[in-house]
Amino acid sequence: MKNKEVDFIARRYKKGRFLPDAGWDRLGIAPVSKWRRYRVAAAVAATVILSATAAILYREYRMENVPQQTMPVKTQTISPLAEVKAIDFENAPLPDVIKKIETVYNVKVNGIPASPEEYELSLHYEGTPTDLISVINEILGTQMTVAEK
């Protein structure tokens, strides 16, 4: 039993004819040089080393290990008389207006007229309670004042 492929190679074999480098040259493909292989290996090794170093540094110097410096924050409380808020009234009697002002602004209204039910007010206002009461005083001709609770 004969193998046709072995017989073909045996008849046509010439020394140096079946070299891999010569085959690559005939195909127009340059073989990879040894130095290029070393450069690729060096680049891969450098990437691995840098990644490992970054992981070690991250683990060693995490932000949770850094002592936190805290600075005291000074909070400034705003007086209820200086708070700006919006408030609306539509044909509301003066006692309801006063209740709503005291609730929204957290203040106390003084100097309410003797018969406040006689007064009605329609108003949209945005500002401080002191300014609101002075506007109401001008509209209704009253002498009310505002004080903190």
Residue 143 lies in a domain: yes
Residue 71 lies in a domain: no
Residue 69 lies in a domain: no
Residue 9 lies in a domain: yes
**pTM for the structure as a whole:** 0.48
Residue 51 lies in a domain: yes
Q: Which residue range forms the structural domain that includes residue 38?
A: 4-59
Answer yes or no: do 99 and 139 share one domain.
yes
Residue 75 lies in a domain: no
Answer yes or no: do 130 and 89 share one domain.
yes
Residue 74 lies in a domain: no
**How many domains are there within the chain?**
2
Question: pLDDT tens digits, residue range 8-60?
Answer: 777 777 776 667 677 777 777 766 677 777 888 889 999 999 999 988 888 87
Question: pLDDT tens digits, residue range 93-133?
Answer: 999 999 999 998 889 999 998 888 888 888 888 888 999 89
3-state secondary structure the chain: CCCHHHHHHHHHCCCCCCCHHHHHHHHCCCCCCHHHHHHHHHHHHHHHHHHHHHHHHHHHCCHHHCCCCCCCCCCCCCCHHHCCEEEEEEEEEHHHHHHHHHHHHCEEEECCCCCHHHCEEEEEEEECHHHHHHHHHHHHCCCCEEEEC
Residue 27 lies in a domain: yes
